[in-house]
């Protein structure tokens, strides 16, 4: 190629500029097109798909999570106000109750303002501590690596407090997010390099390190000791089903109330409706894979129907229908926001179907087979995070084998 260009320089002296053939000369363009350009040339920005970047992706997830944030504050305040004995409300102490008294909103569960205000006083401190501590770690690693601080943590920092019980101590939240950012993400290279979800890793760390603060009936409702009405129990529906001795059909649980999110539970996981709105936003904007979400639904339906058909006279979980599994615990939140994480999920489209199906099926399997641990969404998604590279590898190997067969044919 270089020899041919030199020859062209010599045979076209009339077009030389500075001893070389001018690059815009028609003869040069003809040779360049013939030797270096394909037969068809794309005239548009072929490698610019759209204007989506990391910042827009992260902000889309934040917007999708806003309904869960609203329900986190409203339902947390509602459950606390329902549990507080009105006769003991005047004796409550602490900074939260001082703020409520200063604002004059009271503790009436019939007041939306009172519920949101009370719930915000539990959610916002957890969120602020998470953002301050997590961003500190992000900035520290960015300075050491001489890299820019990206927007990836804004999603982790919002999702993490939403999967915590409202009574979580602030120092535990700081410790948990430190583990999630440093151990689950930064040691692997930062945003886009982690193989497990940092928010779920932080939650799992707290679950195993401080099980008393992450489980039990008292952690799901923010009520001071001695302020609750007589006979109050903050047990979630999952906890009540765990100790159920009568058939599930005879229990008067309200599916609609669980769907709306008016039951005790983690801050942002109780409302399947809010999670559904977020899932639609994520799916329509293609920030998260709809294949994973639909696969999780199919896996849940298939496994629940299988156990319904088998039946059990001693385990009431066998009779729980699939539509109940979808509104209990962290199923909806996990499928909408955690399983669809594009970094930790498979890249192959067919692999996303398998990934989602296995998440839905395993959540139901663990709930039914091991009723002592009904909230299985967190560990199931973390397990499938680890399995995602194996799923991708299987499809890549199959594609390579298929192409080799075609080449040999």
Report pLDDT digits (tens) over 41-69. Answer: 555 544 444 445 566 778 889 999 999 99
Q: Which of 114-128, 178-192, 309-323 has the highest mean pLDDT?
A: 114-128
**Residue 31: pLDDT above 60?**
no
DSSP 288-321: S-HHHHHHHHHHHHHHHHHHHHH--SS-GGGG--
**Residue 218: pLDDT above 90?**
no
Residue 82 — very low, low, confident or very high, per pLDDT cuts 50/70/90?
A: confident
Q: What average pLDDT does range 293-309 have in this prediction?
A: 96
- Using CA atoms in the order 322, 323, 328, 330, what is the torsion angle rounded to 10 degrees? 80
**Residue 257: pLDDT above 80?**
yes
Model pLDDT, residue 246? 73
Query: Residue 269: which residues within 8 A CB-CB, separation 6 or more?
Result: 68, 162, 163, 275, 329, 330, 332, 333
Token representation of residue 63? 């917007």
Coil vs helix vs strand at 16: strand
Q: What average pLDDT does range 312-325 have in this prediction?
A: 88
**pLDDT tens for residues 166-190?**
989 999 999 999 999 999 998 888 8
Q: Name the more confident of 281 and 217.
A: 281
Residue 298 — very low, low, confident or very high, per pLDDT cuts 50/70/90?
A: very high
Model pLDDT, residue 9? 56
- Spell out the alpha helix ranges (H) of 225-289: 237-242, 255-260, 272-284
Query: Residue 99: which residues within 8 A CB-CB, separation 6 or more?
Result: 121
Model pLDDT, residue 48? 47
Model pLDDT, residue 83? 85
Cα within 13 Å of Cα(221), Cβ side: 23
Buried b (16+ CB within 10 A) or exposed e, 4-30: eeeebeeeeeebeeeeebeeebeebee
Can you list the pairs that 142-148 forms with residues at least 24 positions away whose Cβ atoms lie under 8 Å? 145/190, 147/190
Q: How far apart are CA 248 and CA 204, in angstroms?
A: 29
Residue 231 — very low, low, confident or very high, per pLDDT cuts 50/70/90?
A: low
Query: Residue 134: which residues within 8 A CB-CB, separation 6 or more?
Result: 153, 156, 157, 160, 177, 178, 180, 181
Q: What average pLDDT does range 317-328 have in this prediction?
A: 91
Q: What average pLDDT does range 277-291 have in this prediction?
A: 93
| Residue spans per domain, the chain | 54-231, 235-409
> How many residues are present in the chain?
409
Coil vs helix vs strand at 228: strand
| Percent of residues, the chain, with pLDDT higher than 70 | 82
**Residue 33: pLDDT above 60?**
no
**Residue 38: pLDDT above 70?**
no
| Percent of residues, the chain, with pLDDT higher than 90 | 48
Query: Which 8-state DSSP code applies to residue 193?
Result: T
Q: How far apart are CA 65 and CA 162, in angstroms?
A: 9
Q: Which of 81-90, 198-207, 302-311, 379-388 has the lowest mean pLDDT?
A: 81-90
Tell me if the pTM is above 0.85. Answer: no
**Residue 16: pLDDT above 60?**
no
State which H helix or E strand residue 20 sits in. strand 20-21
Query: Residue 152: which residues within 8 A CB-CB, separation 6 or more?
Result: 54, 58, 190, 191, 192
Residue 87 — very low, low, confident or very high, per pLDDT cuts 50/70/90?
A: confident
**Residue 85: pLDDT above 70?**
yes
Q: State the average pLDDT for the chain.
A: 84
Q: How far apart are CA 119 and CA 73, in angstroms?
A: 4
| Residue 164 near residue 125, CB atoms below 8 Å | no
**Residue 370: pLDDT above 50?**
yes
Q: What average pLDDT does range 402-407 have in this prediction?
A: 86
- Reference 163, options 130, 137, 195; nearest CA is 130
Coil vs helix vs strand at 345: coil
Q: How far apart are CA 338 and CA 259, in angstroms?
A: 19
């Amino acid at each position: 190629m270089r020899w041919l260009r030199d020859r062209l320089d010599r045979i076209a002296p009339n077009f030389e500029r500075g001893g070389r053939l001018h690059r815009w000369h028609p003869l040069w363009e003809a040779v360049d097109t013939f030797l270096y350009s394909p037969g068809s040339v794309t005239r548009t920005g072929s490698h610019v798909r759209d204007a989506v970047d990391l910042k827009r992706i992260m902000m889309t997830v934040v917007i999708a999570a806003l309904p869960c944030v609203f329900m986190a504050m409203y339902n947390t305040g509602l459950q606390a106000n329902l549990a507080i004995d009105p006769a003991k409300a005047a004796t409550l102490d602490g900074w939260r109750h001082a703020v409520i008294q200063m604002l004059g909103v009271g503790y009436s569960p019939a007041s939306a303002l009172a519920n949101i205000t009370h719930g915000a006083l539990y959610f916002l401190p957890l969120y602020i501590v998470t953002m301050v501590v997590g961003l500190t770690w992000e900035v520290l690693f960015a300075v050491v690596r001489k890299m820019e601080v990206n927007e990836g943590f804004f999603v982790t920092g919002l999702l993490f407090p939403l999967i915590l019980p409202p009574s979580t101590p602030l120092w535990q939240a700081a410790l948990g997010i430190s583990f999630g950012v440093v151990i689950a993400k930064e040691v692997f290279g930062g945003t886009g390099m982690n193989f497990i979800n940092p928010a779920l890793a932080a939650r799992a760390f707290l679950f195993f390190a401080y099980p008393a603060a992450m489980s039990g009936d008292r952690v799901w409702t923010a009520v001071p000791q001695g302020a609750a009405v007589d006979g109050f129990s903050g047990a979630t529906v999952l906890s009540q089903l765990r100790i159920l001795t009568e058939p599930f059909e005879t229990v008067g649980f309200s599916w609609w109330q669980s769907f709306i999110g008016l039951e005790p539970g983690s801050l942002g996981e109780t409302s399947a409706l809010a999670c559904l709105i977020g899932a639609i936003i994520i799916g329509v904007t293609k920030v998260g894979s709809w294949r994973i979400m639909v696969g999780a639904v199919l896996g849940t339906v298939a496994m629940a129907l299988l156990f319904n058909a088998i039946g059990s006279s001693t385990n009431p979980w066998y009779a729980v229908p699939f539509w109940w599994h979808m509104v209990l615990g962290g199923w909806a939140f996990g499928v909408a926001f955690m399983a669809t994480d594009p970094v930790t999920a498979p890249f192959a489209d067919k692999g996303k179907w398998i990934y989602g199906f296995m998440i839905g099926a395993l959540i139901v399997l663990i709930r039914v087979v091991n009723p002592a641990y009904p909230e299985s969404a967190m560990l199931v998604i973390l397990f499938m995070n680890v399995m995602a590279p194996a799923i991708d590898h299987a499809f890549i190997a199959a594609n390579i084998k298929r192409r080799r067969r075609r080449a040999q044919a």
